[in-house]
Structure 1
């Protein structure tokens, strides 16, 4: 049961700090922007523009998925709580029926 307790404790910690964890990863993209990628140097500005458009399209697609997931979530299954998980029922409809964590 030690493993189960450890996983539960770690999950609760991650849940409480879920909005701050991306800040830990922020130095990685900042460091990667210091030198142009190999493809950009090889193909020029056209590759850079194409890459930017693909990244923007992926970002907007992610926003659409997030809006659909939030808009179709049943009442009592989502909240802005950070101390503990408070739900009346498990969310198994909409996009949650297709993937485990759509957000």
Structure 2
């Protein structure tokens, strides 16, 4: 990941509704959630939700696929992993034991 991609991802998450969407999608991995259901659960108009989902997709944080008449959105965990690794790549000046608590906190879910 490069600086520009990281800025796009962080910028996409720096808005309350988009952060809520991303967290909702992470909770529903690996099945995903239909766009309309996301809008209903977060009480956001569908056209507004569509714009938010587009921003998250362009930032590499969500992916989607059409299933019949629905579009199913999923968190892009590879995108999240890339962003996280980018942020901590040079963690602790190469002193691995200083990063151990961070790694341990991330490990249970991943």
TM-score bracket, normalised by the shorter chain, equals under 0.3
Give the TM-score, by structure 2 length.
0.25
Higher strand proportion (structure 1 or 2): 2
Based on CA coordinates, which of the two structures has the bigger radius of gyration? 1
Q: What's the TM-score once normalised by structure 1's chain length?
A: 0.26
